[in-house]
C-alpha cells in the first residue's frame, strides 16, 4: 500500500493563540506546512520533531529543540499513522504510555500546588504579623481609599452607594449616626482618623478596610434593635482598626496570591489575587475577633453604655435559621463560646443608652431610599 504523503492538519505557530488549518506534506527529510491557499508556512526537519501528549483522537507534534512553542495537530487517522511510521513513532499504543505519564505529571503538579498553598495558608499569617510593624500607617492610609473605591465600583444598585443624602429623612438619620459614631470613636482614642460610611445594601454586616474605612450596611442598621447594639458593633469594628486587622488580612491575601501565582505562572495577573481572596474569604481569625470584642467592650464601658448588648444580635443570628447569616458568621467566626466570653467581661451598672428612642428611630431612616 502506498503511504499517504499529504493531509490536513491544525497548526499553532507559537506566536499567537489562533490556529491555522494547513496542508501537511511528508517530504524525504522534512514535514512541510502550507496554508490553505498553498503558501508555505514552515518546514520541520524530522530530526527536530517530537511527539507531544495529546487526546486519543489526534497526533500532536512539536519541536524538541526549544526554539519554538509551535505545534501541529493531525486528526485524520490514516494520515496520522503515515506520519508516525515515517517518524518511527510506532503505533498509537505508544501514546497510551504518554497519556499515563501526562496524568502522573498533572497529579504531581496538583500535589505541588496544594503543598505551596498549604504552606501559604499556614505560614503567611506569621509572616504578616512580623511585617506589620514595618509598614507605616501612612502607607495604610493610602491603601484604604483603593479598597473603598473597589467596593463602590462593585456596587450594582441603582440607588447611590452611600446612604444619608437622599432627602431630609436620610440627612437627619446620617446626622444622628455620625454624632453617635464620633462619640464612640472618641472613646476609642485611635491614633488615626476613621472614615465611616453607611452603605445602601441589604446584607446585615459591617466591614473594616485599611486606613480606618468602615462600611456599616443598611441591612445591619435595620436588623439591630437598639442603639447600644449598633454602638457595640461600631466599637468592635474600631477594635479592628486599632489592631490593624484589615491591613494584616490584606498582607495575608497578597502573600497567598503571590505563592499561588508562582504555582500557576500568574505572579502579576489578577487571577491569583481573586483566587486567594476567595480562599481566605476575607475572614478574620477567632483570635482577632476576640481581641476586637474585648476592645469594643472596653469602649462601650467608657461611654457608660450597655457593653454586652451587641451580643444579643449574635445570639439572634445563631438561633434564627430562617435568615441567611451564613456568610456573616463565616467571615466573622461566631459560636456560643464567643457570646459567653463577651457576657463574661465586665460591664457598667445601670447603663445609659447611647441615643434616645427618638434619636434611634431617626437614625434608622438613614437609608430610607431602598
The tens place of each residue's pLDDT in the chain, 370 residues long, gives: 566 888 999 998 877 766 789 999 999 888 999 988 889 988 988 888 888 887 778 898 888 766 677 889 999 988 888 888 888 775 544 444 455 555 655 555 555 555 555 555 555 555 556 666 667 777 777 777 888 888 888 888 788 899 999 999 999 999 999 999 999 999 999 988 899 999 999 988 899 988 889 999 999 999 999 999 999 999 999 999 998 888 777 776 665 555 545 544 544 444 444 444 444 444 567 888 889 999 999 999 999 999 999 999 888 887 775 555 555 555 566 678 888 999 999 999 999 999 999 999 999 999 987 6
Predicted local distance difference test score (pLDDT) of residue 279:
44
Closest CA to 199 of 249, 135, 245, 155: 155
What's residue 133's pLDDT? Answer: 66
Whole-number Å distance between alpha carbons of 126 and 154:
31
Q: What is the DSSP letter of 162?
A: B
Can you give the pLDDT at residue 84? 87
* Amino acid 153: pLDDT: 86
The gap from C-alpha 332 to its chain's centroid, in whole angstroms, comes to: 16
Instruction: Provide, rounded to the nearest whole percent, the portion of the chain with pLDDT above 90.
Output: 35
Domains and CATH numbers, the chain: 6-90 (2.30.29.30), 116-363 (no CATH)
Query: What does the pLDDT read at residue 238?
Result: 96
Report the C-alpha gap between 95 and 91 in whole angstroms. 8
What is the Cα Rg of the chain in Å? 31
Residue 239's Cα: distance from chain center in Å? Answer: 23
Give 246's Cβ-side CA count (13 Å radius): 26
Q: At what angle do helices 336-344 and 311-319 cross, to 10 degrees?
A: 160
Identify the pLDDT of residue 93.
44
Give the 3-state secondary structure of residue 32: strand
For residue 13, the model assigns a pLDDT of 82
Query: Residue 268 corresponds to which cell in the numbers above?
Result: 502579576
Amino acid at each position: 500500500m502506498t503511504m499517504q504523503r499529504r493531509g490536513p492538519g491544525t497548526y499553532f505557530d507559537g506566536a499567537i493563540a489562533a490556529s491555522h488549518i494547513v496542508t501537511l506534506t511528508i517530504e524525504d527529510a522534512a514535514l512541510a506546512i502550507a496554508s490553505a491557499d498553498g503558501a508555505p508556512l514552515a518546514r520541520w526537519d524530522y530530526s527536530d520533531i517530537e511527539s507531544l501528549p495529546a487526546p486519543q483522537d489526534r497526533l500532536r507534534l512539536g519541536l524538541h529543540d526549544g526554539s519554538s512553542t509551535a505545534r501541529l495537530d493531525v486528526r485524520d487517522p490514516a494520515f496520522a499513522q503515515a506520519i508516525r511510521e515515517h517518524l518511527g513513532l510506532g503505533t498509537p499504543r505508544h501514546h497510551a504510555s504518554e497519556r499515563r505519564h501526562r496524568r502522573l505529571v498533572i497529579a504531581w503538579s496538583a500535589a505541588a500546588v496544594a503543598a505551596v498553598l498549604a504552606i501559604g495558608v499556614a505560614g503567611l499569617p506569621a509572616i504578616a504579623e512580623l511585617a506589620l510593624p514595618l509598614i507605616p500607617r501612612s502607607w495604610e492610609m493610602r491603601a484604604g481609599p483603593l479598597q473603598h473605591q473597589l467596593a463602590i465600583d462593585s456596587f450594582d444598585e441603582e440607588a447611590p452607594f452611600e446612604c444619608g443624602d437622599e432627602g431630609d429623612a436620610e440627612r437627619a438619620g446620617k446626622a444622628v449616626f455620625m454624632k453617635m459614631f464620633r462619640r464612640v470613636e472618641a472613646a476609642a482614642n485611635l491614633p488615626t482618623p476613621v472614615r465611616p460610611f453607611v452603605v445602601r445594601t441589604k446584607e446585615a454586616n459591617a466591614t473594616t478596610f485599611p486606613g480606618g474605612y468602615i462600611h456599616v450596611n443598611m441591612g445591619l442598621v435595620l436588623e439591630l434593635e437598639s442603639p447600644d447594639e449598633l454602638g457595640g458593633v461600631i466599637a468592635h469594628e474600631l477594635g479592628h482598626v486599632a489592631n490593624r486587622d484589615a491591613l494584616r488580612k490584606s498582607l495575608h491575601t497578597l502573600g497567598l496570591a503571590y505563592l499561588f501565582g508562582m504555582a500557576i505562572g500568574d505572579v502579576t495577573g489578577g487571577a491569583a489575587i481573586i483566587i486567594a481572596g476567595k480562599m481566605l474569604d476575607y475572614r478574620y481569625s477567632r483570635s482577632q475577633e476576640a481581641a476586637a470584642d474585648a476592645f469594643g467592650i472596653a469602649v462601650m464601658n467608657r461611654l457608660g453604655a450597655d457593653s454586652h448588648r451587641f451580643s444579643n444580635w449574635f445570639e439572634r443570628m445563631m438561633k434564627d435559621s430562617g435568615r441567611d447569616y451564613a456568610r456573616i458568621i463565616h467571615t466573622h467566626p461566631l459560636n456560643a463560646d464567643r457570646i459567653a466570653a463577651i457576657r463574661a467581661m465586665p460591664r457598667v451598672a445601670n447603663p445609659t443608652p447611647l441615643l434616645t428612642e427618638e434619636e434611634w428611630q431617626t437614625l434608622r431612616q438613614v437609608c430610607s431610599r431602598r
